[in-house]
């Protein structure tokens, strides 16, 4: 694997999930190719889970880690080729990516969508420029359109908790006070479409995800109908793709409550976190035995560890 920014970088989803399960059973048993290698983690946006689980993953592999909040502590990066740099940006991404590559064997980058420039966001303008100038493999720590480390952890979690071979998995939009990126739901859809689960996306009219990622999933604009007989309910807010960046905080009847969960087949509840309690999901659901959110967060370590192994040429 050269980089890890999308499911498209993965040869076999089944083999990757299998390796993640093996790593989880024996987290310190896979150091041979990774010991003393260096992971750099670059954050242009906040993070709790991705930051700590990626560090933990690297420690389990005997690696060293360097973390930088580039948005706060770095120079402001110029992105344009041929720019005359006589304004506020002090360093070009060309030098920055090449220099960081001198210190690291793998680089993780977190860079969220602008939600104002759809074309740049969906072209992954920043991440692709960074990859172009980096000299080592790059891992997405959530980019403008995708969050593959989260999706790998999510598939591992579903595999661990499914009671039937082909569970019904419902990705449901939920309300939120702020417009959020489509990265988590796009990525979840991309990965679940590659499984043989029965996959349904529930969202209000005007909030359909990009076809590129929603693919052949069944899209239902009535949440109650979608939740019927679900085995897993994956809640997430996202802002509109069509009316780019528009949100709908007033749609409070989309909150996942115990009443909504009663429509399901005693479904498990999933969310990538951080979650706004009693807006996205009620306390009652989040605090119930049905909730898998902490296990999803735990699985982020094994997801990152698996991807580091693949990038550093571990052979299954
Ligand atoms: N990495 C997990 C999700 C990150 C981000 N959520 C957020 O920004 C939540 C912020 C808030 O609740 O205000 C998102 O939806 O893509
Ligand atoms: N789920 C997730 O990526 O969390 P953080 O944004 O805290 O890293």
Query: Is 51 labeled as ligand-binding?
Result: no
**Cα(240) to centroid of ligand 1, in Å?**
15
Distance of CA 175 to the CA centre of its chain: 19
In terms of CATH architecture, what is 150-296? 3-Layer(aba) Sandwich (3.40)
Q: Do domains 7-146+300-311 and 150-296 have the same CATH topology?
A: yes
Per-position DSSP letters for the chain, written without gaps between them: ---BSSGGG-S-HHHHHHHHHHHHHSTTS--TTTTT-EEEEEESS--SHHHHHHHHHHHHTT-EEEEEEHHHHSPPEE-STT----SS--EEHHHHHHHHHHH-SEEEEE----SS-HHHHHTTHHHHHHHHH-SS-EEESS-SS--HHHHHHHHHHHHHH-SSSS-EEEEEE---SS---SHHHHHHHHHHTTSSSEEEEE--TT-PPPHHHHTT-EEES-HHHHHTT-SEEEEE----TTTTT---TT-GGGSB-HHHHTTSSSPEEE--S---BTTTB-HHHHTSTTB-HHHHHHHHHHHHHHHHHHHTT---
**pTM listed for this prediction:** 0.98
Looking at the domain 7-146+300-311, which fold is it? Rossmann fold (3.40.50)
Q: What pLDDT does residue 313 have?
A: 82
Which of 46, 180, 186, 271 to probe ligand 1 with, by most ligand atoms within 8 A of CB?
180
Measured by CA distance, the residue closest to atom 6 of ligand 2 is 47
Query: Is 277 labeled as ligand-binding?
Result: no
Q: Considering every ligand atom shown, identify the ligand nearest to the alpha carbon of residue 239 and give its number.
A: 1
**Cα(203) to centroid of ligand 1, in Å?**
18
Whole-complex ipTM:
0.99
Q: What is the pLDDT along the chain (316 residues), one digit of tens a residue?
A: 999 999 999 999 999 999 999 999 999 999 999 999 999 999 999 999 999 999 999 999 999 999 999 999 999 999 999 999 999 999 999 999 999 999 999 999 999 999 999 999 999 999 999 999 999 999 999 999 999 999 999 999 999 999 999 999 999 999 999 999 999 999 999 999 999 999 999 999 999 999 999 999 999 999 999 999 999 999 999 999 999 999 999 999 999 999 999 999 999 999 999 999 999 999 999 999 999 999 999 999 999 999 999 999 877 5
- 50 close to ligand 2 (CB < 6 Angstrom): yes
Which of 236, 237, 273, 304 to probe ligand 2 with, by most ligand atoms within 8 A of CB?
273
Q: Number of C-alpha atoms within 13 angstroms, CB side, residue 196?
A: 4
Measured by CA distance, the residue closest to atom 3 of ligand 2 is 50
Q: List the chain domain ranges.
A: 7-146+300-311, 150-296
């Amino acid at each position: 694997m050269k980089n890890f920014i999308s499911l498209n970088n993965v040869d076999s989803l089944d083999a990757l999930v299998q390796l993640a399960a093996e790593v989880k059973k024996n987290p310190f048993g896979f150091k041979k190719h990774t010991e003393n290698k260096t992971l750099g983690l670059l954050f242009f946006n906040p993070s709790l889970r991705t930051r700590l689980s990626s560090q933990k993953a690297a420690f389990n592999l005997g690696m060293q880690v360097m973390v930088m909040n580039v948005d706060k502590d770095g120079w402001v990066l110029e992105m344009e080729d041929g720019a005359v740099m006589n304004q506020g940006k002090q360093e070009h991404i060309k030098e920055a990516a090449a220099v960081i590559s001198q210190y690291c064997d793998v680089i993780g980058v977190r860079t969220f969508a602008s939600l104002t420039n759809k074309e740049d966001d969906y072209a992954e303008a920043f991440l692709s420029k960074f990859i172009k100038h980096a000299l080592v493999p790059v891992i997405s720590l959530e980019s403008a359109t995708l969050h593959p480390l989260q999706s790998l952890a999510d598939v591992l979690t579903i595999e661990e908790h499914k009671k039937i071979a082909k569970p019904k998995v419902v990705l449901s939009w939920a309300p939120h006070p702020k417009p959020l990126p489509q990265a988590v739901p796009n990525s979840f859809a991309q990965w679940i479409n590659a499984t043989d689960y029965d996959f349904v996306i529930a969202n209000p009219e005007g909030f359909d995800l990009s076809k590129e990622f929603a693919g052949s999933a069944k899209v239902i604009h009535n949440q109650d109908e979608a939740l019927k007989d679900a085995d897993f309910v994956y809640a997430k807010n996202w802002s509109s793709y069509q009316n780019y960046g528009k949100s709908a905080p007033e749609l409070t009847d989309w909150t996942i409550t115990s009443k909504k969960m009663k429509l399901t087949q005693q479904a498990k509840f999933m969310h990538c976190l951080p979650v706004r309690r009693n807006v996205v999901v009620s306390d009652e659901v989040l605090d119930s035995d049905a909730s898998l959110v902490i296990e999803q967060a735990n699985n982020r370590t094994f997801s990152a560890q698996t991807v580091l192994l693949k990038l550093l040429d571990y052979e299954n």
